[in-house]
Chain A
Amino acid sequence: MTLLAVDVLPLLASGLATGAIYALVGIGFVLIHSVTGVINFAQGEFVMVGALSATTLVATGAPLALAFTGAVALTAAVGAIAERLTIAPARGASLLTLIIITVGVSVTLRGLALLIWGVDPRSYDPFTAGPPVDVLGLAFSRQSLWIIGVSLVVAGLLWLYLERTVAGKAMRACAMDPDAARLQGVSPSRMSLYAFALAAAVAGAAGVVFVPVTHAHYEMGLFLAVNGFTAAVVGGLVSPLAAVAGGFLLGALEALAAGLVSSSYESVIAFVVLFAVLVARPRGVIAGRA
């Protein structure tokens, strides 16, 4: 027990913050997949756009709240534009085609980011300065608390939107049965647009809170996409809340692997988990579209 308390719990504390980021990325995968059936490989690039645009806003001296909303709004716009320019015109194409289109979107966004922001990583200071905070006997950096807090708030707001608003219900209806939804006057095309914008906004928020922990970089998307996708797959790719749980689980596993074995294994954890889930519970993925 002593060993557990001393060694494992502090590791879990640091894993929770990264897990919260994976959770936000995972939510984006679930949103888009459940409405359109598409696995959006540009999800990690949405995080990158949010993170890099926030570094620019912060560097120009914008207050944090403005930088946050500005970066989230910009990322949502990028998501919406990407959907209108690439997914919408290809409506009627096979799912595989649409998925490959999102790969193209991710490469394009990465290239644009390289042209706009260059190769050097960028960063800014944590939202609140100061030493780590003690929560239930565990030391959390202040930014970790921000990350966990923001991800829980975002997940909560999203749940309210999907469960309690007409627009959210329309989106879910579209996910359940597009044809029936269309008969009720819901436009699947419009819902696809909303899903992309919303998923991008969530990813943008993840990017803004994540920057102070590591740094923003045009190539940061792939790693986040792999981990976020794994979080979503662990959750079965159908429920945003399950994706949140998957994200925290993955973050914790990575922290344990890095802390107890070696950080060399940290980056393979996501692949191992993904592989295990796909082999053991492939229906969890395939059954994503009801």
Chain B
Amino acid sequence: MRDPSSAAPRRGLLVGLALAALVAVGCGSDDDTGSDNDPIRIGVNVELSGPASVLGNAYADAAKLRAELLNEQEGGILGRPIELIVTDNRSDQTEALTLTEELTDRKKAVAMIGPGTSPTSLAAMGAILKSGVPTLSLGSAEAIVSPAAERPNVFKTTPDGDVAARAIVDDLERRGLRRVGLLSTNNPYGDDGLQAVERLAEEGAIDLVAAEKFEEEDSDTTPQLRRLLDADPDALIVWAIPPGAPTVRRDAVEKLDVDVPMYFDSGAGAELFLTLAGASAHGARVVQPRSLVWNQVPDDHPLAEELEEFGNAYTGEYGEMSGFAGYAWDSVGMLKAAIESARSTEPGAMVRALEGLGDYPGVSGTLEFSPQSHSALSADDVVILEVRAGAWTLPRRR
């Protein structure tokens, strides 16, 4: 049987077709004997189509590339090749749940990467917990992994809402901006950001003078922006992914001539934000791990080597860097480290290994899980970037 992950075409419906073919050929060979040369199967459950396809395709691309390189350069995991089973949940919550069952049960994946957004991850939670298969979600909402006691086998390599909100508020404080208006998407991801910002406001770090929600697919967000501006904020925070995030930016700049600084959560930070927001992107700020600006990180940074390897490999293969790619890249690497440390693909042993990995040098930062915290990134791992001359730019002083 051919390696289905390398046979799967890269995008959209084709992946679905390949999946169908894979289901057809996969039925006869589902027994996982775990012998020495059998591939280690990792399910990838991401949004290759639908509203979140920008994230999902970057995730799939990065995971495939990492697995390919690890197979070539390090002989896979424990001498067994990594076999990624890449599937498309179409940004659909029910599909994310169904695919989770299929990957963990029929496809006998020893671990799963994804789902790629907060709504799809939370929707699939029942099946993830029931399967017990170690899962590295790429959604960002804290509720995906917290409390750890109720999410024993669920981890995530993305920054929490709290981490991103803290970084934004630090930047606001440095600039002496207090009055903040927040615009968030009306889903669990946006709510996570809303709660994080509200908590910081309660601590007195900022004054949240207005908060509005919008739907991810809205084509016009001026009504909400207008209400926020009525409250006379010093700065706006936007909690959205593309295409919603760049739509907000365009509406603010082109329709309302907004001149207060606008901060975007890490979800907005793909190259697609720049493409879709065009000239209006100039001056927008975003919270990001350093992976997006891998080639601007100083050489003496502790992760400079990892970032360079990742950046060269990803841009060499796909052209442009994506703000989302790093999370999936790290997820594959962490699973390899955990399986090698456990010397087993038994779920319980893998979970304990993930919790005990210590500081893992990733491209999103220094990742660390513990039995109490299944979220790997901390405030040190993210920076505020600004759009300068059509590119995300790392401020010099960091």
Residues of A within 8 A of B (CB): 10-11, 14-15, 18, 111, 114, 118-126, 129, 131-132, 139-144, 212-215, 217, 223, 255, 258-259, 262-264, 266-267
6 smallest CB-CB distances across A and B, nearest first, come from: A259-B223, A141-B255, A125-B278, A119-B53, A131-B257, A214-B219
Contact residue among A11, A111, A124, A213 (Cβ-Cβ distance under 8 Å from B219): A213
Asked if B221 contacts A120 (CB within 8 A), the reply is no
- How far apart are the CA atoms of A20 and B13 in the complex, in Å? 33
Q: Is the CB of A120 within 8 A of B223?
A: no
Q: Identify A114's interface contact among B13, B221, B223, B226, CB under 8 A.
A: B13
Chain B residues with Cβ below 8 Å from A140 are: 255
Hey, which chain A residues are within 8 Å of B222, CB to CB? 10, 14
Inter-chain contacts of A213 with B (CB < 8 A): 219-220, 250
Q: Find chain A residues with CB under 8 A from B11 CB.
A: 118-119
- Whether the Cβ atoms of A132 and B254 lie closer than 8 Å is yes
> How many angstroms between the C-alpha atoms of A258 and B218 in the bound complex?
9
Contacts A14-B222, A267-B215 given; does A121 touch B242 at CB 8 Å: yes
Which residue of chain B has the shortest Cβ distance to A110 in the bound complex?
A: B13
Which residues on A sit within 8 Å (CB–CB) of B246?
123, 215
Contact B12 A118 (CB under 8 A): yes
Q: Whole-angstrom distance between the alpha carbons of A15 and B222 in the complex?
A: 10
> Are A121 and B243 in contact, CB atoms less than 8 angstroms apart?
yes
B140 within 8 Å of A (CB atoms): no
Q: B331 near A: Cβ within 8 Å?
A: no
- How far in angstroms is the closest Cβ of chain A from B389? 15
A263 touches B254 (CB 8 A): no
- Is the beta-carbon distance between B12 and A114 smaller than 8 angstroms? yes
Q: Given A114-B12, A258-B223, A259-B223, are A120 and B257 neighbors across the interface (CB < 8 Å)? A: no
In the complex with contacts A118-B11, A139-B255, A213-B250, A125-B219 CB distance below 8 A: no
Question: Are A121 and B272 CB-contacts (below 8 A) given A114-B13, A214-B219, A267-B217?
Answer: yes
CA separation between A124 and B281, bound complex, in Å?
Answer: 12
In the complex, A125 Cα to B280 Cα: how many Å? 8
From residue A190, how far is it (CB to closest CB) to chain B in Å? 36
Q: Tell me whether A132 and B218 are in contact (CB under 8 A).
A: no
Query: Roughly how many angstroms separate A215 CA and B221 CA in the complex, as a whole number?
Result: 14
- Which B residues between 187 and 229 are near A, CB-CB below 8 angstroms? 213-215, 217-224, 226
With A125-B278, A215-B247, A263-B221 already in contact, the answer to whether A143 and B12 are too (CB < 8 A) is no
Residue-wise, chain B 6-49 has the 8 Å CB interface mask toward A (1 for contact) of 00000111000000000000000000000000000000000011
Q: List residues of chain A with CB within 8 A of the CB of B53.
A: 119-120
Complex CA distance for A68 and B23, rounded to whole angstroms: 45
- Total chain B interface residues with beta-carbon distance under 8 A: 37
- Given contacts A119-B11, A143-B254, whether A124 and B218 have CB atoms under 8 Å apart is no
Q: Is B275 an interface residue (CB 8 A)?
A: yes
Which residue of chain A has its CB nearest to the CB of B270? A120
Nearest chain B CB to A240 CB, angstrom units: 24
Are B215 and A266 neighbours in the complex by a CB distance under 8 Å? yes
Q: Which residues of A contact B256 (CB under 8 A)?
A: 132, 139
Interface status of B180 (Cβ within 8 A of chain A): no
- Cα distance A18–B57 in the bound complex, in angstroms: 30
Name, among B57, B218, B222, B246, the residue most crowded by chain A CB atoms within 10 Å (CB to CB): B222
Could you give 13 example pairs across A and B, Cβ below 8 Å?
A: A14-B223, A119-B53, A121-B272, A122-B275, A123-B246, A125-B280, A139-B257, A143-B254, A215-B243, A215-B246, A262-B213, A266-B215, A267-B215
Q: Is the CB of B223 within 8 A of A215?
A: no
Residues 265-304 of B at the A interface (beta carbon under 8 Å):
272, 275-280
Cβ-defined contact, B255 with A263, below 8 A = no
Cβ-defined contact, A125 with B13, below 8 A = no
- A139 proximity list for chain B (CB < 8 A): 255-257
> Which residues of the partner chain A approach B243 to less than 8 Å between Cβ atoms?
121, 214-215, 217
Q: How far is the CA of A263 from the CA of B11 in the complex (A)?
A: 31
Bound together, the chains give a CA A263 to CA B185 distance in angstroms of 11
Contact code string B222-253 (vs A, CB < 8 Å = 1, else 0): 11101000000000000000110011001000
A119 near B49 with CB under 8 A, answer: yes
Could you say which of A123, A141, A266 contacts B275, with CB atoms under 8 Å apart?
Answer: A123
Q: Which one of B49, B250, B276, B280 contacts A121 once the chains associate, using CB atoms below 8 Å?
A: B276
Instruction: Kindly list chain A residues whose C-beta atoms are within 8 Å of the C-beta of B280.
Output: 125
Known: A14-B220, A255-B223. 18 other contacts (CB 8 A): A10-B226, A14-B255, A15-B220, A111-B13, A114-B12, A118-B12, A119-B57, A120-B53, A120-B275, A121-B243, A126-B254, A131-B257, A144-B255, A212-B278, A214-B219, A217-B243, A259-B226, A263-B221
Cβ contact of A214, chosen from B13, B49, B223, B247, cutoff 8 A: B247
Confirm or deny: B186 has a beta carbon within 8 angstroms of a beta carbon on chain A: yes
In the assembled complex, which residues on chain B have CB atoms less than 8 Å from the CB atom of A129?
279
Contact across chains for B215 and A264 when beta carbons are under 8 A apart: yes
Contacts of B213 in A (CB 8 A): 262-263
Contacts of B182 in A (CB 8 A): none
Q: For the complex, give the distance between the alpha carbons of A144 and B275 in Å.
A: 20
With a CB–CB cut-off of 8 A, which chain B residues contact A132?
A: 254-257
Is B54's CB within 8 Å of the partner chain A? yes
Q: Contacting A142 at CB < 8 Å: which of B48, B215, B254, B275?
A: B254
Report A-chain residues with C-beta under 8 Å of the C-beta of B279.
Answer: 125, 129
Residues of the A chain whose Cβ atoms lie less than 8 Å from the Cβ of B277: 123
